[in-house]
């Protein structure tokens, strides 16, 4: 269904639009204001209606080469030129180049006579001449109440309003008409919003003594648009509507990894660090070395020759650098070399939108590879939880789209079973979540660290005890006791017991080795004695055998001698006997 809708929308004709060039407004309106049609910008005093109209003209000239006409009914050309000069808008130069025409029309009731079929034909001729003289594509009328303030007859007024809007459409110029907000209506007359093709409402409100401005596109004929309220600011560069960075989750990702600055912590991740461009959140109670972890990460970024932007909401740059130097984290040199920039201020200095705009501006100026905010919890002092969460969501999206690694710290309440929940509720938005906590033992408090999640990579599930030493953060090896992981003094006791057991086992092994050697020597001695005894018996038997053999030989020799000395007698037959 989604593929069908996407393909269908790409083939359908789209409403022609004129980009405003105002940061964020074109994204909300999905391309700009309706081209060749009037747009109504309404709001109360001080919300920036006139400024939006002038910036629409200036951006059109400088960025899109579209000449414009500004017809003002309240302020003179000189006053308008002076008012916007601080924003870098040089109206005199644009007029000299015949790209802009500023015309001040003074409307006085005494000059308007409502006789017969009165109309604004004279105004149309004047405006038409201004448009044709420079070939204007854009027009701003500021403000419409001043134009019609002299008409007591409401029916004539409504008729002329419709006629004015129709005339502008027929002229084919993209127009912004500013109007003051009425009582219960968007405008004083309550008619302009109905005949306009696009209506933008500006609002300036004060909440908890903090001024915030909101913009809402009330209607936009023939086009889809953002319907929510969007914060906007008036900065030194004009109007900035926030956020506009990632209305859809379409940012690119990287497989590269950046170190956390703590080698032992890197080993707890399957990829030995964080993904570049990901978001990291470190939460913990007070005093659990969150800032030290953040500073270690910032130092690692700078040591790799990259840039890091560090926002500190609790410490001045000098205090932060001094404190981190005590644990061998040298930030001062990186600041001096331009790789690290520390921005320190109280969150209450500005509203949430101003903080976000400041970060946008600094990112554009400094072009960092990583951004550290310590801590985001303090932003709650300038907004409610939903506003802070919305601001942080926009911030995370902006940094992701920019490919910048984000590192946040947050203070959590250790009581009521919420030690792992952030008040801002952004833990579900980040890619990596590290929890640091107090591990209370017998008469002491120790620090523990664990990885609650890390998207896209395997990670350790152990709770590692760590200490802050003169050389930085050091993660200790896991020691298991009878009831689980032990820390602090119990850890030392367990290690001593394990050492004693290992020593006793070693001594027992050595004793067994000595007993075995002794038995081996005894056995070898017995074997030697038996071998000697055997050799003696063997020698004795050999001698007896030799003697017996000699005796037998002697007896045989004696018999041979006897036989030789006594040969047998030869028998002869008797004489006189006849033979046979």
- Does the residue 560 lie in any domain? no
pLDDT tier for residue 9 given thresholds of 50, 70 and 90: very low
CA atoms 229, 231, 234, 238: torsion sign: negative
Q: List all residues 6 or more positions away from 62 whose beta carbon is below 8 Å from its beta carbon.
A: 21
**Is residue 421 domain-shared with residue 486, that is, in the same domain?**
no
Give domain status of residue 314, yes or no.
Answer: yes
Q: Based on the fold, state whether residues 126 and 146 are members of the same structural domain.
A: yes
Query: Would residue 566 count as lying in a domain?
Result: no
Give the tens place of pLDDT for each residue, 395-407. Answer: 888 888 889 999 9
Task: Give the burial string for 218-245 (b: 16+ CB within 10 Å, else e).
Answer: ebbeebebbeeebbbbbbeebbbbbbbb
- 409, pLDDT greater than 60: yes
Asked whether the predicted pLDDT for residue 239 surpasses 70, the reply is yes
Co-location of 317 and 271 in the same domain = yes
Q: Are residues 510 and 428 part of one domain?
A: no
pLDDT digits (tens, 9 = 90+) for 72-105: 888 888 888 888 888 888 999 999 999 999 988 8
pTM above 0.75, yes or no: no
Same domain, 198 and 278: no
From residue 439, alpha-carbon distances to 78, 445, 463 in Å are 68, 6, 10
CA–CA distances in Å: residue 82 to residues 77, 460, 540: 9, 62, 136
Let me know whether 10 and 152 are in one domain: yes
Q: How far apart are CA 163 and CA 120, in angstroms?
A: 9
Is 105 domain-assigned? yes
Does the pLDDT value for residue 320 go beyond 80? Answer: yes
Residue 537 CA neighbour count, 13 Å, CB half: 6
**CA 207 → CA 135, 144, 275, 390, 397, distances in Å?**
45, 30, 38, 16, 26
End residue of a domain, out of 465, 497, 515: 515
pLDDT band at 124 (very low <50, low <70, confident <90, very high): confident
User: Residues 138, 220: one domain?
Assistant: yes
Model pLDDT for residues 261-271, shown as the tens digit of each residue:
999 999 999 99
Residues 6 or more apart in contact with residue 68 via CB below 8 angstroms: 56, 57, 60, 61, 99, 100, 101, 136, 137, 138, 139, 140
Residues 227 and 314 in one domain: no
Report CA-CA distances (Å) from 268 to 64, 141, 254, 307, 427.
52, 63, 20, 25, 19
- 213 and 272 in one domain? no
Q: Is the pLDDT of residue 486 over 60?
A: no
The whole-number average pLDDT for the span 97-126 is: 70
- Res 329 pLDDT > 70: yes
Pick 508 or 23 by higher pLDDT: 508
* pLDDT over 90 at 175, yes or no: yes
Q: What does the alpha-carbon distance between residue 462 and residue 451 come to, in Å, rounded to a whole number?
A: 8
Q: In the chain, what percentage of residues exceed pLDDT 70?
A: 81
558 domain-assigned: no
Looking at the structure, tell me whether residues 466 and 483 fall in a common domain.
Answer: no
Phi, psi at 468, each rounded to 5°: -100, 110
Question: Domain containing 417 — which CATH number?
Answer: 3.40.50.300
- Residue pair 178/144 in contact (Cβ under 8 Å)? The answer is yes
Greater model confidence, 389 or 189: 389
Q: Are residues 468 and 489 in the same domain?
A: no
Tell me if residue 176 falls in helix, strand or coil.
Answer: strand
In this predicted model, what pLDDT tens digit does every residue of 556-572 receive, in sequence order? Answer: 888 888 888 777 666 66
Q: Into how many domains does the chain fold?
A: 3
* Domain limit, last residue, from 241, 272, 297: 241
Least confident of 23-27, 362-366, 417-421: 417-421
Q: Which of 269, 265, 292, 289 is nearest to 438 (CA)?
A: 289
Provide the pLDDT for residue 116.
43
End-to-end CA distance of the chain: 151
Is residue 548 domain-resident? no
Residue 557 lies in a domain: no
pLDDT of residue 487: 56
Tokens representing residue 30 in the block:
């999905």
Cα–Cα distances (Å) from 279 to 29, 73, 397, 433, in that order, read 29, 50, 10, 9
179 with 53: CB under 8 angstroms?
no
Does a structural domain hold residue 506? Answer: yes
* Of the candidate ranges 250-259, 322-331, 473-482, the one whose mean pLDDT is the lowest: 473-482
Structure tokens at 93: 């130069």
Residue that terminates a domain, selected from 210, 241, 272: 241
The average confidence (pLDDT) of the chain is 82
Range of the domain at 49: 2-111+119-241
Residues 431 and 299 in one domain: yes
């Amino acid at each position: 269904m989604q593929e069908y809708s996407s393909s269908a929308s790409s083939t359908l004709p789209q409403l022609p639009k004129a980009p405003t060039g105002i940061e964020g407004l074109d994204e909300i309106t999905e391309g700009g204001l309706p081209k060749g049609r009037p747009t109504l910008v309404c709001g109360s005093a001080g919300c920036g209606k006139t400024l939006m109209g002038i910036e629409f003209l200036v951006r059109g000239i400088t960025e899109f080469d579209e000449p414009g006409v500004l017809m003002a009914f309240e302020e003179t050309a000189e006053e308008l030129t002076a008012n916007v000069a601080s924003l870098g808008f040089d109206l005199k130069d644009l007029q000299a180049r015949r790209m802009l025409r500023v015309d001040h029309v003074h409307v006085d009731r005494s000059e308007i006579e409502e006789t017969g079929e009165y109309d604004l034909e004279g105004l149309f001729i004047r405006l038409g001449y201004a448009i044709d003289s420079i070939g204007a594509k854009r027009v701003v009328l500021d403000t419409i109440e001043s134009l019609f303030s002299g008409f007591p007859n409401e029916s004539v007024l409504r008729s002329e309003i419709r006629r004015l809007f129709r005339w502008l459409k027929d002229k084919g110029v993209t127009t912004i008409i500013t109007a003051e907000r009425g009582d219960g209506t968007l405008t004083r007359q309550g008619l302009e919003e109905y005949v306009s093709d696009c209506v933008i409402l500006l609002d300036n409100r004060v909440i908890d003594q903090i001024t915030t401005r909101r913009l809402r596109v009330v209607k936009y004929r023939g086009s889809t648009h953002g319907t929510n309220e969007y914060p906007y600011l008036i900065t030194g560069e004009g109007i900035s509507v926030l956020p506009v960075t990632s209305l859809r989750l379409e940012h690119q990702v990287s497989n590269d990894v950046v170190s956390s600055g703590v080698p032992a912590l890197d080993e707890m991740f399957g990829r030995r660090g964080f993904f570049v461009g990901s978001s990291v959140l470190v939460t913990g109670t007070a005093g659990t070395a969150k800032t030290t972890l953040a500073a270690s990460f910032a130092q690692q970024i700078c040591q790799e020759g990259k840039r890091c932007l560090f926002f500190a909401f609790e410490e001045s740059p000098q205090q932060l650098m001094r404190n981190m130097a005590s644990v061998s984290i040298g930030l001062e040199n990186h600041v001096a070399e331009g790789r690290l920039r520390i921005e320190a201020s109280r969150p209450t200095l500005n509203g949430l939108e101003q903080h976000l705009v400041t970060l946008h501006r600094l990112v554009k100026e400094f072009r960092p590879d990583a951004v550290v905010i310590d801590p985001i919890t303090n932003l709650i002092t300038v907004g409610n939880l939903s506003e802070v969460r919305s601001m942080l969501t926009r911030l995370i999206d902006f940094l992701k789209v920019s490919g910048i690694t984000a590192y946040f710290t947050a203070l959590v309440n250790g009581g009521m079973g919420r030690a792992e929940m952030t008040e801002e509720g952004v833990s579900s938005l980040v890619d990596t979540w590290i929890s640091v906590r107090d591990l209370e033992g017998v008469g002491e408090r120790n620090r523990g660290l664990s990885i609650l999640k890390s998207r896209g990579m395997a990670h350790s599930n152990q709770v590692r005890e760590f200490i802050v030493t003169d050389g930085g953060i050091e993660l200790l090896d896991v020691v298991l006791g009878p009831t689980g992981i032990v820390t602090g003094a119990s850890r030392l006791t367990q290690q001593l017991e394990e050492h004693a057991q290992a020593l006793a086992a070693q001594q027992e092994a050595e004793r067994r080795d000595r007993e075995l050697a002794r038995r081996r020597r005894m056995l070898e001695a017995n074997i030697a004695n038996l071998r000697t005894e055997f050799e003696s018996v063997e020698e004795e038997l050999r001698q007896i055998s030799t003697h017996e053999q000699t005796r037998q030989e002697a007896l045989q020799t004696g018999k041979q001698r006897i036989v030789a000395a006594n040969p047998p007698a030869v028998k002869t037959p008797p004489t006189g006997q006849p033979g046979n």
